[in-house]
Amino acid sequence: MVEDSMSLYFLFNMLHSIISVFFKETILVAAFFFLLNKTFENELLKKVSAWMIGIITLIILIFAVMISY
């Protein structure tokens, strides 16, 4: 019984860490590219920004999972 509650606590703590790091860092990336696109109106910049947001979000997700262990 105690082992189950400890593993559940560990799992909850790990998921909380992953979610909090992921959203904290992703909001900063999205805000940066949003402001960049509002400052410079360019179609190529919008396409590159969309790809960069996707790639950086994936990197941040991997980073958040790796540091939670």
Q: What is the pTM of this model?
A: 0.79
Lookup result for tokens 């909850």: 12
Q: What is the distance between the alpha carbons of residues 32 and 24, in angstroms, rounded to a whole number?
A: 13
Length of the chain counted residue by residue: 69
Query: Per the structure, how many domains does the chain have?
Result: 1
Does residue 1 carry a pLDDT above 70?
no
Q: What domain range is 48 assigned to? A: 2-68
Please classify residue 29 by burial: count the beta carbons closer than 10 Å to its beta carbon, then call 0-12 exposed, 13-18 middle and 19+ buried.
middle
Q: What percent of the chain has pLDDT over 70?
A: 96
